[in-house]
Amino acid sequence: MFLQQLLNSIAIGSVYALTSMGATLIYGILGILDIANAGAYVLGAYLGLLFYSLTGNIIISFAAAMATTGLLGILIQKYVYRPLLSQPAYIPLIASIGIFIFIENVIRLIAGPTIKQFTVKLPFSNLDYANLHINNVWVLIFIVALILMFLLWYLLKMTKIGLAWRATSQDLDIAKTMGINTNKVISLNFFLGYSFAASAGILIGILYNSIYPTMGSVVSYKMLAIIVLGGLGNPFGTVIAALLIGFIETMVGAYIGFFIPRNAIAFVALVIILLISPKGLFTQKSRI
Amino acid sequence: MKRSFISLFLLVILLFAMSSLVMAQDVVKLGFFAPVTGPAAADGESALNSAKLAVEVINEEGGIDGREVQLVEYDDHLDSKQSVSIAQKLTTRDNVVAVVSGSYSGTTRPAATIYQNAKVPMISAYAIHPDIPKTGDYIFQQSFPGPVQGRVGGYMAVDDLGAQKIAILYVDNDFGSTLNDNFQEYVKEKGAEVVYVDSFAIGEREFNPVLTKIKGLNPDLIYVVAYAGEGAAIMRQSVDVGIEAQILGTEGMDSTTQFLQVAGEAAEGLIITTNLNRDSEEEQVIDYINRYTEKYGFAPDMVGASTYDAFMLLAHVMRQVGPDSEAIKDAMYEVEDYMTNTGLLYRYTEVGEAIKPVQVQVVKDGEFHYYDQITDMDIIAP
């Protein structure tokens, strides 16, 4: 029983880690709380289903949906956020909420408000061992999350563009004067941030066999709790924070009962942790 | 020059005034609001589709005494601030003779007060909170009130399915808590034990922790008050977790496209209480389902059927007493044994609650089928 709940909590935590990663990357470089990332999550899921129904190949659909949503990220960055960079932080925040509502409603108008199924046959089935149950989509989520995290780590720590990225996130203006093409770095950052969100949307769509225009609404605020907890813009802190929130939600539900709605638990945890450590679990220094 | 301009201006105003007078006489305006956008957009669209279809059918049948019926529709975004301001618009600006709510209880309740004060009859198509008809004598429900459905759930659980240990999962809103309260009251009175109760928010998709816990308690039956999306997630995950107990659902899961297709094989054997009998041999039900499917490309659900019925009931009453708000209200209390798509409407109580049979459907081979129909007055009279 406890082991099963632990497995449940890891599955939920990995889902949260994946959905919050895009917004974390973007906060890490521009300091913008990008609510529109939840729009990318919805759009990615719909594009994934579209490409899957056209090609019948889930790997191609994954790549195509991630690339398309990533390109949208570059466009949003270039035409919405870049002109607003000199403004106070709440102005791009409001713009991002606007983009999120816009994406949600465009999808509703095109695809309709009803739930669509996202059925994908995986090459491996559910694992049942003794009393323990592991869903096959959870395994897929672990694998995809690990691959994406590894790629991100490699890019940031082992490549030249990763160095430029880290420099830009530390101080944009100084990085620029040092000859770094910060626009290129920021574009790459948004491309990755939005494509990560798209991959999360597709995986969640497959996990629950359903996608719908408002699927991003819980994500849009819960990812905030997670990235704040993870130390704002720290990808590895975000993973830990996501797993922690998944764990707390599951265990509170399993052993104490839902005295408050489950979605509020993340925020209660956030308030308590911020009271103890005002900068989140991880400080700004370790940011990217 | 100036005088001719003024007289021309007056003439134009006069023409406008006359044309609006003629138009006001020509059409019968019926108000309608539903959550066409926002978190309940699927139900909103389903209700709106049926509202449009109903008005089309009423006009094909010659309208109301030769006058065309016009639908004045609004989107409330599942927001009670919106539904209240819509109620003000419908009663003061649009001057409708009657209103159908295609929305949930949370949005319909505050709006009902405004219709009552404006003396405009309102029929709530599928919002089932017991306080809605209690607002006043102008407010009616099309479907049986929530407490009735909760009791029928209890009756099915204990008397029909013989459950003794029951777990309950309900959606945390007016709909869920009304059904949960009345279900619990009934089963406890009958001596069954409620071993677990939990609620969840609309939009929740992750039930593994809760279902794992329920599995450990080993109940005979799980009563689930959920909408299509949450319901489908519960069905799929309960199979994953290995729950073998019978699951008893409610009208919230009554949707072919949104629930049955998403839940797939996991929904087999589910029993729900609802108001639409998919196996009905009544010609009007078959006609409605066929016509809706032809027009919109997918089968209607109970939300759609209930909305359609509310309009048809209004048309039926207006054909008897004319399109007058006061007369419609009075005539509603006189309606007796009127056949709707969602069952025979016996009559209205003095509070405006409908007395109708409750349908029990079971999922077999991926479709809803007839399981039982509850007509026992002790259970279905509010």
Q: Given a cut of 70, is residue B133 above it in pLDDT? A: yes
Q: Given a cut of 70, is residue B20 above it in pLDDT? A: no
- Taking CB atoms and an 8 Å cutoff, what residues of chain A touch B216? 1
**Are the beta carbons of B45 and A210 separated by less than 8 Å?**
no
**Are the beta carbons of B201 and A262 separated by less than 8 Å?**
yes
Give CATH for domain B9-143+281-351: 3.40.50.2300
Please give the pLDDT value at position B333. Answer: 94
Least confident segment among A135-144, A209-218, A263-272, B50-59: A263-272
Superfamily of domain covering B147-274+360-380: Response regulator (3.40.50.2300)
Radius of gyration of the CA atoms of chain B, in A? 22
Instruction: Establish if B213 touches chain A: CB-CB under 8 angstroms.
Output: yes
Please give the pLDDT value at position A102. Answer: 95
- Taking CB atoms and an 8 Å cutoff, what residues of chain A touch B236? 208-209
**Are the beta carbons of A262 and B258 separated by less than 8 Å?**
no
Share of chain A above pLDDT 70, in %: 96
One DSSP character per residue, B336-382 reads -SEEETTEEE-EE-TTS-EE-PEEEEEEETTEEEEEEEE--HHHH--
Please give the pLDDT value at position B226. Answer: 94
Candidates A186, A48, A32; CA nearest to A97 is A32
In this complex, how many residue pairs, one in chain A and one in chain B, have their CB atoms less than 8 Å apart? 92
Please give the pLDDT value at position B19. Answer: 52
Please give the pLDDT value at position A253. Answer: 76
Please give the pLDDT value at position B112. Answer: 95
Instruction: Establish if A257 touches chain B: CB-CB under 8 angstroms.
Output: yes
Instruction: Establish if A110 touches chain B: CB-CB under 8 angstroms.
Output: no
Please give the pLDDT value at position B48. Answer: 95
Q: Check if the beta carbon of residue A202 is closer than 8 Å to that of residue A216.
A: no
Q: Given a cut of 50, is residue A286 above it in pLDDT? A: no
Please give the pLDDT value at position B8. Answer: 60
pLDDT band at A51 (very low <50, low <70, confident <90, very high): very high
Of residues A250 and B124, more confidence is placed in B124
Please give the pLDDT value at position B116. Answer: 95
Joined tokens for residue A31: 């300091």
Tell me the pLDDT of chain B averaged across its residues: 90
Distance in Å, alpha carbon of B211 to nearest chain A alpha carbon: 9
**Are the beta carbons of B210 and A253 separated by less than 8 Å?**
yes
Option in B45, B201, B212 nearest A4 (CB): B212
Of residues B24 and B100, more confidence is placed in B100
Q: Given a cut of 80, is residue B11 above it in pLDDT? A: no
Sign of CA dihedral B100, B105, B110, B112: positive
Instruction: Establish if B234 touches chain A: CB-CB under 8 angstroms.
Output: no
Give the mean pLDDT of B95-123. 94
Please give the pLDDT value at position B204. Answer: 85
pTM reported for the whole predicted model: 0.85
Q: Given a cut of 60, is residue B229 above it in pLDDT? A: yes
Instruction: Establish if A115 touches chain B: CB-CB under 8 angstroms.
Output: yes
Candidates B95, B122, B89, B74; CA nearest to B25 is B95
Of residues B19 and B69, more confidence is placed in B69
Candidates B169, B167, B148; CA nearest to B157 is B167
Tens digits of residue pLDDT in A116-174: 989 888 877 777 777 777 888 888 888 888 898 899 889 988 898 888 888 888 888 88
* 3-class SS letters over chain A: CHHHHHHHHHHHHHHHHHHHHHHHHHHHHHCCCCCHHHHHHHHHHHHHHHHHHHHCCHHHHHHHHHHHHHHHHHHHHHHHHHHHCCCCCHHHHHHHHHHHHHHHHHHHHHHCCCCECCCCCCCCCCEEECCEEECHHHHHHHHHHHHHHHHHHHHHHHCHHHHHHHHHHHCHHHHHHCCCCHHHHHHHHHHHHHHHHHHHHHHHHHHHCCECHHHHHHHHHHHHHHHHHCCCCCHHHHHHHHHHHHHHHHHHHHHHCCCCCHHHHHHHHHHHHHHHCCCCCCCHHHCC
pLDDT band at B22 (very low <50, low <70, confident <90, very high): very low
Task: Indicate left, alpha or beta for B369 from its phi (over 0: left) and psi (-120 to 50: alpha).
Answer: beta
Instruction: Establish if B310 touches chain A: CB-CB under 8 angstroms.
Output: no
**Are the beta carbons of B229 and A117 separated by less than 8 Å?**
no
Give the mean pLDDT of B83-104. 94
Q: Give the C-alpha separation, A51 to A199, whole Å.
A: 13
Q: Do domains B9-143+281-351 and B147-274+360-380 have the same CATH topology?
A: yes
Q: Give the C-alpha separation, A209 to A228, whole Å.
A: 30
Option in A115, A128, A263 nearest B229 (CB): A115
Instruction: Establish if B170 touches chain A: CB-CB under 8 angstroms.
Output: no
Q: Give the C-alpha separation, B82 to A179, whole Å.
A: 53
Residues 45-84 of A with CB under 8 A from B: none
- Taking CB atoms and an 8 Å cutoff, what residues of chain B touch A254? 209-210, 212-213
**Are the beta carbons of B205 and A262 separated by less than 8 Å?**
no
**Is ipTM strictly over 0.85?**
no
One DSSP character per residue, B76-98 reads -TT-HHHHHHHHHHHHHTS--SE
**Are the beta carbons of B212 and A8 separated by less than 8 Å?**
yes
Instruction: Establish if A208 touches chain B: CB-CB under 8 angstroms.
Output: yes
Distance in Å, alpha carbon of A208 to nearest chain B alpha carbon: 6
Q: Give the C-alpha separation, B31 to A138, whole Å.
A: 48
Least confident segment among A123-127, B20-24, B71-75: B20-24
pLDDT band at A250 (very low <50, low <70, confident <90, very high): confident
Give the mean pLDDT of B108-118. 95
Domain ranges of chain A: 2-215
pLDDT band at A229 (very low <50, low <70, confident <90, very high): confident
Q: Given a cut of 60, is residue B2 above it in pLDDT? A: no
Number of residues that make up chain B: 382
Q: Given a cut of 70, is residue B52 above it in pLDDT? A: yes
Option in B203, B236, B240 nearest A214 (CB): B203
Q: Which residue is it, tokens 């009931």?
A: B313
Please give the pLDDT value at position B137. Answer: 94
Give the mean pLDDT of A56-75. 94
Candidates A115, A140, A102; CA nearest to A46 is A115
Least confident segment among A96-105, A178-187, B239-248, B298-307: A178-187
Tens digits of residue pLDDT in B145-200: 999 999 999 999 999 999 999 999 999 888 999 999 999 999 999 999 999 998 88
- Taking CB atoms and an 8 Å cutoff, what residues of chain B touch A209? 232, 236, 262, 264
Q: Give the C-alpha separation, A44 to A195, whole Å.
A: 8
Share of chain B above pLDDT 70, in %: 93
Of residues A233 and B242, more confidence is placed in B242
Give the mean pLDDT of A206-213. 91
Q: Given a cut of 60, is residue B16 above it in pLDDT? A: no
Instruction: Establish if B162 touches chain A: CB-CB under 8 angstroms.
Output: no
Please give the pLDDT value at position B127. Answer: 92
Kindly report the CA angle at B332 between B327 and B333, in degrees rounded to 5? 110
One DSSP character per residue, B10-71 reads HHHHHHHHHHHHHHHHHEEEEEEEE--SSTTHHHHHHHHHHHHHHHHHHHHTTTBTTBEEEE
**Are the beta carbons of B236 and A213 separated by less than 8 Å?**
no
Tell me the pLDDT of chain A averaged across its residues: 87
Q: Which residue is it, tokens 């020059």?
A: B1
Domain ranges of chain B: 9-143+281-351, 147-274+360-380
**Are the beta carbons of B232 and A210 separated by less than 8 Å?**
yes
**Residue from B196, B206, B211 whose CB has the most chain A CBs within 10 Å, to mutate:** B206
**Are the beta carbons of B240 and A217 separated by less than 8 Å?**
no
Q: Give the C-alpha separation, B70 to B95, whole Å.
A: 12
Q: Given a cut of 60, is residue B54 above it in pLDDT? A: yes
